[in-house]
Amino acid sequence: MDLIVIAIVVVVAIGLVAACILSYASKVFYVPVDERVSKLRAELPGANCGGCGFAGCDDYANALVEDPELSINKCPVGGAAVAAKLGEILGKSAEAGEKQLAVVMCNGTRDAVKPLLAYNDIKTCKAAKNLFGGMNACPFGCLGLGDCEAACDFDAIHICDGVAVVNKDACVACGACAKACPNSLIRISPAKNLVVVKCHNTEKGGVARKECSNACIGCMKCQKVCKFDAITVENNLAYIDPEKCKNCGMCAKECPTGAIHDERKKKAAPKKSPEEIEALKKAAAAKKAAAAAKKEDAPADSTDAKADDAKEKAADTTAKAADVKADDTKADSAKEKTPVKEVKVETTVEKAEEKAPETVKEVVDESADIGDENV
């Protein structure tokens, strides 16, 4: 029994000594921490996506306190709301940050891209890239095995028809998908730019077109049609300057391969109020009633019209008959005149024949006279 009491006393004594030592050490080695860091950390979303350019939310909170010049708009997940709260803690005014989005610069769907080989190995884009540059003929296109999809913590990017597609409503532009893509196809750009080049192939036009029917061929038609000098073609690939682009969409219409996409939403027709709908229904009913009334009046009108047409046809027939009679009369008169001419011709010939012997006799007499004179 004494041994148990002794053991308990020893353990308690050791605990008290250790507590005193730790308490003294905490005071000696105390590092002052700005209370704003904890407040900032509490306002940050805690996604630790790295979209702000730091290792995580804790690192970003510390950096905000240490560097007064650091922008409070770097959190893509929290957006303007979080930036406003951070500004209140730090005594800064939140600048109007421009919304950013991830853009996939490829449209090589299964129907467009030419397959190179059947890939049955590890289902990751990095693994496929190490095998002859991928399983498609285009070495610059999307491999479609979902590395970007796995890297996104916001379910904002998915593989559709062999190509990564970004959900604009869910994307926070953290850049995780861009880091995961082995072909560097994904870039973070301003959300206001709705006309984008969805191609990353820098090979010559003929080669690129053989590899993918949707590839940019560097024809420079888009550059010529742009009125704002926002498009340049370098290394056989079109590039749109987001600062100069006005989203007119002329380049997308001119592109012969469809490599430039116009993602502007068409304006929906305004919804009509119930009063307008009732007015349209009444107008339609009135039109139907008017059409029915016209049909009832149609038989009498049609009979009169038919009678008028018959009269006109009869008049035309009478006129034509008169013209025919006149032509027959002229023909008969011509026939009657023709025999007279023939008779005249015959009498002239007969007269010539009658005169011919006398002429011959005169010629003979003259020749005889000439002969006598010679003798």
What is 22-58 written as a DSSP string?
A: HHHHHHHT-----HHHHHHHHHS------TTSSSSHH
Of 169, 111, 166, 119, nearest in space to 143 by CA: 119
Of 83, 76, 263, 243, nearest in space to 175 by CA: 76
pLDDT at 347 over 50: no
Least confident of 129-138, 305-314, 321-330, 346-355: 346-355
Best-predicted range by mean pLDDT among 24-28, 171-175, 254-258, 309-313?
A: 254-258
Best-predicted range by mean pLDDT among 50-64, 144-158, 266-280?
A: 144-158
pLDDT at 182 over 70: yes
Alpha-carbon distance of 67 to 318, in angstroms, equals 109
pLDDT at 105 over 50: yes
Identify the pLDDT of residue 318: 55
Identify the pLDDT of residue 335: 44
Of 195, 309, 204, nearest in space to 253 by CA: 195
Identify the pLDDT of residue 258: 92
pLDDT at 324 over 50: no
Identify the pLDDT of residue 195: 93
> What are 221's two structure tokens?
């038609």
Residues contacting residue 272 through CB under 8 Å, at least 6 positions apart: 280
Could you tell me the pTM of the whole model?
0.58
Identify the pLDDT of residue 317: 58
Identify the pLDDT of residue 72: 87
More confident residue, 339 or 124: 124
Identify the pLDDT of residue 363: 38
Give yes or no for a contact between 216 and 197, defined as CB atoms under 8 angstroms apart: yes
At 356, the pLDDT band (50, 70, 90 cuts) reads: very low
In angstroms, how far apart are the furthest CA atoms of the chain?
A: 212
195: left (phi over 0), alpha (psi -120 to 50) or beta: beta
Question: For a pLDDT cut of 90, what percent of the chain falls above it?
Answer: 39
pLDDT at 301 over 80: no
The mean per-residue pLDDT over the stretch 340-355 comes to 42
pLDDT at 349 over 70: no
Give yes or no for a contact between 179 and 151, defined as CB atoms under 8 angstroms apart: yes
How much is the CA Rg of the chain, to the nearest whole Å?
A: 52
Of 240, 148, 158, 142, nearest in space to 194 by CA: 240
Identify the pLDDT of residue 94: 64
Amino acid at 295: K
Buried b (16+ CB within 10 A) or exposed e, 188-202: bbeeebbbbbbbbbe
Identify the pLDDT of residue 371: 41
Alpha-carbon distance of 262 to 259, in angstroms, equals 10
Query: Tens of pLDDT along 242-291?
Result: 889 999 999 999 999 999 999 887 655 566 677 788 888 888 888 888 88
Query: Tens of pLDDT along 214-231?
Result: 999 999 999 999 999 999
More confident residue, 304 or 224: 224
Backbone angles phi, psi at 215, to 5 degrees: -80, 155
pLDDT at 365 over 70: no
More confident residue, 87 or 269: 87
Q: Is the dihedral of CA 65, 66, 70, 73 positive or negative?
A: negative
Query: Tens of pLDDT along 251-263?
Result: 999 999 999 999 8
Alpha-carbon distance of 157 to 146, in angstroms, equals 9
pLDDT at 40 over 80: yes
More confident residue, 30 or 147: 147
